[in-house]
Amino acid sequence: MTVNAEKPVTSVPTWKGLPAAQQPEYPDQDALRAVVAELEACPPLVFAGECDQLRSRMAAVAKGEAFLLQGGDCAEAFDAVSAEHIRAKLKTLLQMSAVLTYAASVPVVKVGRIAGQYSKPRSKNTETRDGVTLPSYRGDSVNGFSFDEASRVPDPTRLTRMYHASSSTLNLVRAFTTGGYADLRQVHAWNQDFVKSSPAGQRYEQLAREIDNALGFMKACGTDPAEFRAVEFYSSHEALLLDYESALTRTDSRTGTLYDTSAHLVWIGERTRQLDGAHIEFASRIRNPIGIKLGPNTTVDEALGYIDRLDPEREPGRLTFVVRMGADKVRDKLPELVEKVTASGATVAWVTDPMHGNTFEAASGHKTRRFDDVLDEVKGFFEVHKGLGTHPGGIHVELTGDDVTECVGGGDEIFVDDLHQRYETACDPRLNRSQSLDLAFLVAEMYRD
Ligand code: PEP
Ligand code: MN
């Protein structure tokens, strides 16, 4: 490990004087300072060299040579840090990746919304139930999900729990992805508990047979590459809580530059992307690949501003624009941004998040999304890029490996009346495993066409 873990960042508190949206109001600042000091002394979760490697993979995405698959929970939860949950999520991503790689014949860069996705920006500061109003839940890193006064008080010691939850999650993810579980020859095994019950599972089984045949053919020809035995898998989350992200920023002893070692890639959300705000300032100081969520009101000047602030060297792979405009807006709003960004000479990766612009409340009160809207936003995103001759670089989705009922539609259709059956998300509704696989097949078709 060449990252200098002893030397916390003290030279870049430049974000501190700036307006920082969506930060918790801790009642006890001394307790916060103690936690930050503790985190500054902790080992990094990722190695700077891995972040560089992901930046080079994202450069391939930006140049049209690879496709990004980024997915995981809206909000990870401390009590879901279990082998079962982590394996199910990873398995879903591996299956989606097999579908995309094989059916679209494109290298897939695999990035989880995992091992750090514990902090949530909220559109409302408070939540009211049965006449009682309390502060909103802001993710397990900030306060408790339970609707009672004590749980909703921001508690800085949760930042330490986030670090340890991220660390044990990442440890298991690394074990699964390099220790044999992700071996492409396991392509059938990932589907075992699934195939009989679902149309997506059956379709996948067919594709897995074809992959098997291809592997058998290659082996017979005398080639059995190491690449098939392990996968490169990266972690990512929204860099929302700057006290945490800053405390995990380290000087890389190889290069003397700063890396946020809480994840390989971090992104700035739609609600915190102010050009003169603390989040963009923080992101401008670190060398990790950076994502920015772009909602339907993003202006050309803002998009160009992010390039100037975050990618002054115009380095492919540094900056990813994650577009989340909504199925009804993406065809109108995206073309001008893509045109002007392309004309600026920057080579950014364009990725679609077809989830966050398509959320609505069902009559039952459940926050949900229609599978068809999700798909339509992806289609719109692809249409815009095909029209302009630019590269639709990937998808960013909220999903889980569990058979939840949070989004409606899909091949194994979930109806509005089913939502209550397994509605388990701590925040936004996620695609379940079958819906995720459906989406992967449909995206592969779009990419190929
Ligand atoms: C999210 O990714 O969960 C999120 C809050 O997204 P956005 O910033 O795009 O609203
Ligand atoms: Mn979300």
Q: What is the mean pLDDT of residues 368-397?
A: 98
**What ligand 1 atom has the least distance to the C-alpha of 75?**
3
136 Cβ neighbours under 8 A, 6+ residues apart: 122, 124, 125, 126, 127, 152
Does the global pTM surpass 0.90?
Answer: yes
Q: 30: annotated binding-site residue?
A: no
Q: Which two tokens stand for residue 155?
A: 């508690």
Q: Output DSSP code: residue 417.
A: G
Q: pLDDT over 70 for what percent of the chain? A: 97
- Which of 6-10, 180-184, 365-369 is most confident? 365-369
Q: How far is CA 223 from the centre of its chain?
A: 34
Q: What is the pLDDT of residue 248?
A: 97
Q: Is the pLDDT of residue 1 over 80?
A: no
Nearest ligand 1 atom to the CA of 269 is 8
Instruction: Name the token pair of 131.
Output: 């006449």
Which ligand 1 atom is nearest residue 270's CA?
A: 8
Q: List, chain by chain if needed, residues with CB within 6 Å of any ligand 1 atom.
A: 74, 121, 238, 269-271, 293, 324, 356, 428
Q: How confident is the model over 54-74, as a mean pLDDT? A: 98
Closest by CA position to 122, among listed 426, 431, 430: 426
In the predicted structure, residue 82 carries a pLDDT above the cut 80? yes
* Mean pLDDT of the 407-434 span: 95
pLDDT at 431 over 60: yes
Residue 192 confidence (pLDDT): 83
Nearest ligand to the CA atom of 117 = 1
ipTM over 0.85: yes
* Alpha carbon nearest to ligand 1 atom 10, residue: 270
Q: Quote the CA–CA distance of 274 and 293 in Å, as a whole number.
A: 11
Confidence class for position 12, pLDDT limits 50, 70, 90: low
pLDDT mean over 221-231:
90
Which amino acid, 285? R
- Of 73, 271, 355, 395, which is best to mutate to test ligand 1, by the most ligand atoms within 8 angstroms of its C-beta? 271
Q: Is 370 annotated as a binding residue?
A: no
Beta strands in 41-84 (DSSP E): 67-72
Return the ligand number nearest the Cα of 399.
2
Task: Give the dihedral sign, CA 74/76/79/84.
Answer: positive
For residue 209, how far is its CA from the centre of ligand 2 (angstroms)? 35
* For ligand 1, atom 3: residue with the closest CA: 74
* pLDDT surpassing 90 at residue 272: yes
CA distance 71 to 61: 16
Task: Say whether 260 counts as a known binding-site residue.
Answer: no
Average pLDDT over residues 206-219: 92
pLDDT score for 115? 98
Please give the distance, rounded to the nearest whole angstrom, from the Cα atom of residue 378 to the centre of ligand 2.
17
pLDDT average, residue stretch 82-101: 96
- The token duo for 187 is 């392509």
Indicate the range of 212-221, 266-275, 296-305 predicted with least confidence.
Answer: 212-221
Q: Give the mean model confidence (pLDDT) for residues 252-270.
A: 97
Ligand 2 centroid–CA 161 distance in Å is 21
Q: Apex CA 332: angle with CA 328 and CA 334, to 5°?
A: 105
pLDDT-based confidence at 13, cuts 50/70/90? confident
pLDDT above 80 (res 93): yes
Among 67-81, 208-222, 360-374, whose mean pLDDT is lowest?
208-222
Residue (of 189, 158, 195) closest to 176 by Cα position: 189
Of the listed ligands, the closest to the CA of 426 is 2
Tell me, in angstroms, the distance from the centre of ligand 2 to residue 267's CA.
13
Tell whether the torsion through CA atoms of 410, 111, 156 and 164 is positive or negative: positive
Model confidence at 199, in pLDDT bands (50, 70, 90)? confident
Q: Tally helices (H) and strands (E) across the chain.
A: 11, 15
Say if residue 174 carries a ligand binding annotation. no
As a whole number, mean pLDDT of residues 115-134 equals 97
Q: What is the DSSP letter of 415?
A: -
Ligand nearest to the CA of 293: 1
pLDDT-based confidence at residue 198 (cuts at 50, 70, 90): confident
State the pLDDT at residue 326.
Answer: 98
DSSP assignment string, 326-343: -TTTHHHHHHHHHHHHHH
Helix or strand or coil: residue 61? helix
CA of 120 to the centre of ligand 2 (A): 8
Q: How confident is the model at residue 224 (pLDDT cuts 50, 70, 90)?
A: confident
Look over the chain and give the mean of its residue pLDDT values, rounded to a whole number: 95
147-165 pLDDT, tens per residue? Answer: 999 999 999 999 999 999 9
* pLDDT for residue 408 is more than 70: yes
